[in-house]
């Protein structure tokens, strides 16, 4: 009987390697974080800097971005004020990032707005448009601009978008417009993964459940909060750092064969 030859990738022994730390492969890689001054965004910036990456931290001008600028190490972190709704400026934003930090390896689009209305009858056309514009439209156009830059560089890359638990639940009452924008992010992410896969670019979304950030507490009342806690098997909100570490994983070499996925980071609230 003949046996097939072992391929190089088939392990033939235990290899103990010092380079498989959680941020494996991110040293000096350039990552743009859009929505960097928020609860999860600032945790992502911190986690990426800890992993040795060079970070472009992008958000709206304001006190939160000023605080980020004051605390970030200048030589490895460029803090840039930019309204992501201005999609015509996405190409020049990427050029600015590459000019100051180097070729783009990763994009994390974490920016979003949530308008929790008491009921569907309270949702206005402006609510629908603004949430779609920031959460979905800007995510598509910035991902496409990043994809073009990564293809130009020819070294592959990583794109991470932000969905939500709400994409599966449909949201609560008047947050249906937000939920719909996040459902769109999941579909868009799958489509971009199929488009960019042949270029070695992975595209995944992270779908948090309930995270202790300013967004979570927006329009939240105690009864709703207690009801949510009862549905989370882990019995608590996530800390922003617990979501940031998933983003670092997706950007790292550890996740080189994951694409088109939506990662469930809901403490067991969702079971897909």
Ligand X SMILES: NC(=O)c1ccc[n+]([C@@H]2O[C@H](COP(=O)([O-])OP(=O)(O)OC[C@H]3O[C@@H](n4cnc5c(N)ncnc54)[C@H](O)[C@@H]3O)[C@@H](O)[C@H]2O)c1
Stretch of residues binding ligand X (CB under 6 A), selected from 92-100, 141-149, 191-199, 204-212: 204-212
Q: Which residue is nearest to ligand X (CB)?
A: 38
Q: Pick out residues in 76-115 that bind ligand X (CB under 6 A).
A: 83-85, 110-113
DSSP codes joined into one string, 162-186: E--THHHH--SGGGHHHHHHHHHHH
The Cα–Cα gap between 258 and 160 comes to 11
Taking the complex as a whole, the smallest distance from the CB of residue 149 to ligand X amounts, in Å, to: 19
CB 158 within 8 A of CB 202: yes
For residue 115 the two structure tokens come to 């308008």
Secondary structure class of 154 (helix, strand, coil): coil
The Cα–Cα gap between 185 and 167 comes to 9
Taking the complex as a whole, the smallest distance from the CB of residue 196 to ligand X amounts, in Å, to: 21
Residue from 178, 196, 225, 257 carrying the catalytic annotation: 178
Residues binding ligand X: number (CB under 6 A): 27
272 in catalytic set:
no
Query: Taking the C-alpha atoms of 119, 185, 43 and 214 in order, what is their torsion angle to the nearest 10 degrees?
Result: -10
Stretch of residues binding ligand X (CB under 6 A), selected from 118-126, 162-170, 196-204, 256-264: 162-170
Quick check: 162 binds ligand X (CB under 6 A)? yes
Report the DSSP pairing between strands 54-59 and 262-265: unpaired
Give the chain's radius of gyration (CA, Å). 19
Quick check: 208 binds ligand X (CB under 6 A)? yes
94/112 with CB nearer ligand X: 112
Among all residues, which ones are annotated catalytic? 178
Positions that interact with ligand X (CB under 6 A): 35, 37-41, 59-60, 64, 83-85, 110-113, 134, 162, 164-165, 208, 210-211, 213-216
């Amino acid at each position: 009987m003949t046996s097939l030859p072992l391929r190089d990738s088939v392990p033939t022994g235990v290899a103990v390697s010092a380079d498989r730390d959680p941020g494996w492969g991110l040293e000096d890689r350039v990552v743009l974080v859009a929505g960097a001054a928020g609860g999860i965004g600032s945790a992502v910036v911190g986690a990426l800097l800890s992993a040795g990456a060079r970070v472009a931290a992008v958000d709206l001008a304001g006190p939160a971005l000023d605080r980020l600028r004051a605390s970030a190490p200048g030589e490895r972190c460029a803090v840039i004020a930019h309204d992501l709704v201005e999609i015509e400026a996405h190409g020049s934003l990427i050029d600015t990032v590459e000019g100051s930090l180097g070729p783009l390896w990763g994009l994390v689009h974490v920016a979003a707005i949530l308008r929790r209305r008491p009921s569907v009858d309270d949702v206005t056309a402006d609510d629908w448009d603004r949430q779609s514009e920031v959460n979905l439209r800007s995510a598509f156009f910035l991902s496409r601009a990043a994809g073009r830059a990564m293809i130009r560089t020819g070294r592959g890359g990583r794109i991470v978008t932000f969905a939500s638990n709400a994409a599966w639940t449909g949201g609560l009452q008047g947050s249906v417009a937000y939920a719909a924008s996040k459902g769109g992010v999941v579909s868009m992410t799958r489509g971009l993964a199929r488009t960019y896969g042949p270029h070695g670019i992975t595209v995944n979304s992270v779908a948090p459940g309930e995270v202790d950030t300013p967004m979570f507490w927006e329009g939240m009342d105690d009864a709703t909060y207690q009801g949510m806690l009862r549905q989370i098997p882990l019995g608590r909100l996530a800390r922003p750092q617990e979501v940031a570490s998933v983003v670092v994983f997706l950007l790292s070499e550890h996740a080189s064969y994951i694409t088109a996925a939506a990662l469930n980071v809901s403490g067991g609230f969702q079971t897909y």
